[in-house]
Amino acid sequence: DMKPEVMTHPLTNAEGFILPTSFYHHNHTEMENFLKSIAATYPSITRLYSVGKSVEGRQLYVIEITDNPGHHEPGEPEVKYVGNMHGNEVVGREVLLLLIKFLCENYGTNDTVSRIVNSTRIHIMPSMNPDGYVRAKVGDEDGVIGRENAHGIDLNRNFPDQYQQTK
């Protein structure tokens, strides 16, 4: 009876986390608390900021994860991850919250993570459409309620397009 061998650091569990991890959907307040708690726990590698407010006044949070947060370092690549543009497509939001937790916890323990954080400026926006998220209905697998923002704009179809006008 052969079990697949999983390489994990002695401190991490099977999912790669060091601290206990709950897998559940975070509403806006819970997401806000999560991000604030991460920023408070890992101040030397994070910076929580907002790019503004949604139509209904919710903060559009971004957390920066890097070795020198808040500073542009010439030559250091910057990347961004954006989730939940369609408010009713909710998995990416949770995946990004888990990525944030994973990177912060493993920094200083896992060499790969430490190298990534040291050499990259990572910006993560778990939700670009918090208003749509609130409108979306649990269990509505095929619907479009909550897809658009509160102005009826499909944010994922609203980037400049070379060929056609966007909504």
Examine residue 118 and tell whether it contacts ligand NAG (CB under 6 A): yes
Element containing residue 78 per DSSP (H, E): strand 78-82
Only one of the segments 52-60, 92-100, 104-112, 121-129 lies at the binding site for ligand NAG (rule: CB under 6 A); that segment is 104-112
Rounded (10°) angle between helices 111-119 and 91-106: 100
Only one of the segments 53-61, 81-89, 111-119, 144-152 lies at the binding site for ligand NAG (rule: CB under 6 A); that segment is 111-119
Residues 71, 76, 78: CA angle, nearest 5 degrees: 80
Q: Please pick, from the candidates 104, 113, 122, 136, the single residue that binds ligand NAG as defined by CB under 6 A.
A: 113
44 or 164, CB closer to ligand NAG?
44
Rounded (10°) angle between helices 91-106 and 28-41: 10
Only one of the segments 27-35, 71-79, 142-150, 153-161 lies at the binding site for ligand NAG (rule: CB under 6 A); that segment is 27-35
Q: 51 φ, ψ to 5°?
A: -90, 5
Examine residue 8 and tell whether it contacts ligand NAG (CB under 6 A): yes
CB of 8 to ligand NAG, least distance (A): 5
Q: 52 φ, ψ to 5°?
A: 140, -165
